[in-house]
């Protein structure tokens, strides 16, 4: 890539940040978890990483935030690695849902198992499938490896806040246990789930992770296969179908990239050509997605011609 091309991409990134800033007034920071309510509403950042290791970034791309529901992609990888496809998807579906990410209604009225691993019910069951003596330690090791950052850490304050206030997730877990879907003790599974949601990452970390997924699980810099290709295919497909909560269809039309959001303000997006994108902006829309991050990705998708179906 020539210097001129690199400069042009950086200009587009800067434009995307400005477009994102113009939408921040539409959002609110998450308040149902007390620690998340302390977020700086003006924060907004983006990072792109290519398979050649080139970085394009702007704004608050190096500020750590809690991964929240983006952890569901990592836990799905770990569950598939340890429990296998048949076990995981005997307990969790693969279908999108039009309900909220923390819905209990769908468990009672629509099916006996969660629709997909990207909603809370599905992620709790996914956590129960991670059959390892030190589940969280292995999860953290996986995240550090896929993000290329050995300094990723657990935010104890957020973890304790989520554990204390997570009554709805607790209800989901016990309902799943009563229906025979959840294996293990609900409180132990929930403890793992809350911990996984409470690790700290940056938009740069997420860009590296997305770059690995875009390269079918291989780190092209070190030439090592970090995740099996079949697992990557499953995870990216579910990200495209279900990764943006009950806004996934609209997002797929407007942005067209396998993505996963979290109420901490992050979005991880897998772009074509071995490119990964991470965004951070804690101002959320009513669906729980970052308004600034979503707009950044819309601009990048349009200006860099990234939409999978364009």
Catalytic residue numbers?
Answer: 69, 72, 193, 245, 263
Residue 150 burial (CB < 10 Å; 0-12/13-18/19+)?
A: exposed
Task: Name the CA dihedral angle for 170, 134, 73, 87, rounded to a multiple of 10 degrees.
Answer: -80
Q: Are 82 and 299 in contact (CB under 8 A)?
A: no
Q: At what angle do helices 203-214 and 229-242 cross, to 10 degrees?
A: 120
H-state helical runs in the chain? 3-21, 71-82, 85-91, 105-109, 120-128, 135-147, 156-165, 167-178, 186-197, 203-214, 229-242, 248-254, 291-303
3 state SS of 68: helix
CB atoms within 10 A of CB 236: 22
CB under 8 Å to 269, separation ≥6 — which residues? 210, 255, 257, 258, 259, 276, 277, 278, 279, 297
d(CA 170, CA 178): 12
């Amino acid at each position: 890539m020539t210097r001129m091309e690199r400069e042009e991409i950086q200009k587009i990134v800067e434009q995307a940040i400005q477009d994102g800033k113009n939408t921040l007034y539409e959002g609110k920071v998450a308040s149902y978890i007390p620690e998340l309510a302390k977020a700086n509403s003006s924060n907004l950042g983006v990072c792109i990483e290519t398979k050649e290791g080139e970085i394009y970034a702007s704004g608050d791309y190096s500020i750590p935030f809690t991964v929240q529901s983006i952890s569901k992609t990592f836990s799905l990888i770990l569950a598939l690695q340890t429990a296998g496809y048949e076990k995981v998807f005997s307990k969790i579906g693969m279908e999108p849902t039009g309900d909220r990410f923390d819905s209990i209604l769908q468990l009672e009225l629509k099916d006996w198992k969660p629709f997909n691993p990207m909603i809370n019910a599905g992620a709790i069951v996914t956590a129960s499938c991670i059959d390892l003596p030190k589940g969280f330690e292995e999860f953290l090791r996986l995240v550090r490896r896929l993000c290329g950052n050995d300094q990723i850490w657990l935010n104890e304050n957020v973890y304790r806040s989520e554990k204390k206030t997570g009554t709805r997730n607790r209800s989901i877990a016990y309902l799943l246990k009563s229906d025979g879907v959840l294996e293990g003790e609900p409180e132990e599974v929930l403890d793992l789930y809350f911990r996984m949601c409470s690790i700290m990452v940056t938009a740069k970390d997420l860009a590296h992770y997305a770059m690995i997924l875009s390269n079918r699980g291989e780190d092209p810099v070190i030439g090592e296969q970090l995740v099996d290709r079949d697992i990557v295919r499953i995870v990216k497909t579910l990200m495209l179908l279900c990764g943006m909560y009950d806004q996934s269809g609209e997002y797929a039309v407007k942005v067209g990239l396998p993505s996963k959001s979290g109420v901490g303000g992050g979005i991880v997006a897998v772009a074509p050509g071995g490119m990964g994108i991470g965004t951070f902006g804690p101002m959320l829309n009513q669906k729980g997605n970052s308004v600034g991050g979503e707009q950044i990705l819309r601009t990048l998708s349009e200006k860099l011609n990234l939409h999978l179906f364009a």
